[in-house]
Structure 1
Amino acid sequence: MNVLVINAGSSSLKFQLLDTNTREVFAKGNCERIGIEGSFVGYTVNGEKKQLDVDMPDHKTAVQHVFEILKAVDKPIEGIGHRLVQGGWYFPESKVVTDETLGWAREVAPLAPLHNYAEADVIEICRDMFPELGNVIVPDTAFHYNMPERAWRYALPRDVVDKYHVRKYGAHGTSHRYIWRTVDEFTNHETHKLVSCHLGSGASLCAIEDGHCMDTTMGLTPLDGLIMGTRCGTVDPATVFYLNRVGGYSIDDIDTMMNKKSGLLAVSGVSSDSRDVRDGAANGDANCQMALDMFNYRASQLIAEMAASMEGMDTMAFTAGIGENSAEIRAAIVDRLGWLGVKIDPELNDVRSDDPRVISTPDSSVKVLVVPTNEELMIALDVEALLG
Structure 2
Amino acid sequence: MAKKYLIINSGSASGKYSLYANEKELAYAHYEAGEQFVAQIRLGNQVENLTISKAEFDALLQHFLNKVLAANLLRTIEEIAAVGIRVVCPGIFFQRDRLIDHDFIEHLNTLAKNDPIHSQGLILSIENIKKILPAAQLTGVSDSYFHAKLPKTAKYYGLPKSDSDALEIFRFGYHGLSLESVTEKLPRLLGQMPEKTIICHLGSGASITALKNGKSLDTSMGFSPLEGLLMSSRVGDIDAGAIIYLGRQKGLDWEKLERYLYQQSGLLGLSDHSSDLRVLLGSEKSNDQLAVEAFVYRIVKYIGAYTAVLGGLDCLVFTGTIGERSSIIRARVCDKLKFLGIALDQAKNEAALAQDQSLESGSSPVKIAVIAVDENAIIFRHLRA
TM-score (norm 2): 0.84
Q: Deviations over 1:35-86 (max 9, x none)?
A: xxxx999966453657887979x98xx7566555543333553432111111
Partner Cα distance (1:247, 1:190) in 2: 49
Q: 1:111 to 1:322 in 2, by over 3 A?
A: farther
What's the secondary structure of 2:207's corresponding residue? strand
> Which aligned pairs between 1:302-381 and structure 2 lie closer than 5 A?
302-381=302-381
What's the secondary structure of 1:91's corresponding residue? helix
Q: 1:13 to 1:343 in 2, by over 3 A?
A: closer
Q: CA deviation at 1:250?
A: 3.6
- Tell me what 1:7 maps to: 9
Partner Cα distance (1:381, 1:257) in 2: 36
> Which aligned pairs between 1:177-326 and structure 2 lie closer than 5 A?
177-281=180-284, 285-326=285-326
Q: Deviations over 1:361-383 (max 9, x none)?
A: 12212100011122111111211
Which piece of structure 1 moves more, 211-220 or 1-10?
Answer: 1-10
Which piece of structure 1 moves more, 84-93 or 333-342?
Answer: 84-93
**Are 2:200 and 2:208, in contact at CA under 8 Å, matched by a contact in 1?**
yes
Q: 1:114 to 1:241 in 2, by over 3 A?
A: closer
**Are 1:135 and 1:383, in contact at CA under 8 Å, matched by a contact in 2?**
no
**Are 1:180 and 1:194, in contact at CA under 8 Å, matched by a contact in 2?**
no
Which piece of structure 1 moves more, 171-180 or 40-49?
Answer: 40-49
Which piece of structure 1 moves more, 268-277 or 343-352?
Answer: 268-277
What's the secondary structure of 2:80's corresponding residue? coil
Which piece of structure 1 moves more, 241-250 or 292-301?
Answer: 241-250
What's the secondary structure of 2:94's corresponding residue? coil
Which piece of structure 1 moves more, 125-134 or 327-336?
Answer: 125-134
> Which aligned pairs between 1:22-41 and structure 2 lie closer than 5 A?
22=24, 24-28=25-29
Q: Deviations over 1:154-193 (max 9, x none)?
A: 1101232122211111221111221122112222224222
Partner Cα distance (1:27, 1:92) in 2: 26
Partner Cα distance (1:325, 1:194) in 2: 20
- Tell me what 1:71 maps to: 69
- Tell me what 1:36 maps to: none
Amino acid at match of 2:370: V
**Are 2:10 and 2:86, in contact at CA under 8 Å, matched by a contact in 1?**
yes
- Tell me what 2:148 maps to: 145
- How many percent identity over aligned positions? 29
Partner Cα distance (1:357, 1:310) in 2: 24
**RMSD after superposition:** 3.3
Q: 1:106 to 1:208 in 2, by over 3 A?
A: farther
Q: 1:379 to 1:205 in 2, by over 3 A?
A: same
Q: Deviations over 1:260-301 (max 9, x none)?
A: 2221122223421111111113xxx22222222211111001
Q: 1:199 to 1:9 in 2, by over 3 A?
A: closer
TM-score (norm 1): 0.83
Which piece of structure 1 moves more, 10-19 or 180-189?
Answer: 10-19
**Are 1:20 and 1:381, in contact at CA under 8 Å, matched by a contact in 2?**
no
Partner Cα distance (1:9, 1:211) in 2: 24
Q: 1:29 to 1:178 in 2, by over 3 A?
A: closer
Amino acid at match of 2:182: I
**Are 1:20 and 1:384, in contact at CA under 8 Å, matched by a contact in 2?**
no
Q: CA deviation at 1:127?
A: 5.7
**Are 1:3 and 1:20, in contact at CA under 8 Å, matched by a contact in 2?**
no
Partner Cα distance (1:247, 1:125) in 2: 36
- Tell me what 1:35 maps to: none
Q: CA deviation at 1:102?
A: 4.1
Which piece of structure 1 moves more, 113-122 or 175-184?
Answer: 113-122
**Which segments of 5 or more consecutive residues in structure 1 lack a partner in the other structure?**
33-38
* Residues matched between the structures, number: 373
Amino acid at match of 2:246: L
**Are 1:344 and 1:361, in contact at CA under 8 Å, matched by a contact in 2?**
yes
What's the secondary structure of 2:368's corresponding residue? strand
Q: 1:51 to 1:293 in 2, by over 3 A?
A: closer
Partner Cα distance (2:268, 2:127) in 1: 36
What's the secondary structure of 1:231's corresponding residue? coil
> Which aligned pairs between 1:84-233 and structure 2 lie closer than 5 A?
84-86=87-89, 88-109=91-112, 113-123=116-126, 126=129, 133-233=136-236
- Tell me what 1:82 maps to: 85
Q: Deviations over 1:106-154 (max 9, x none)?
A: 4444575345344345446656765664432112112112211110101
Q: CA deviation at 1:15?
A: 2.8
Which piece of structure 1 moves more, 105-114 or 287-296?
Answer: 105-114
**Are 1:96 and 1:136, in contact at CA under 8 Å, matched by a contact in 2?**
yes
Q: CA deviation at 1:105?
A: 3.9
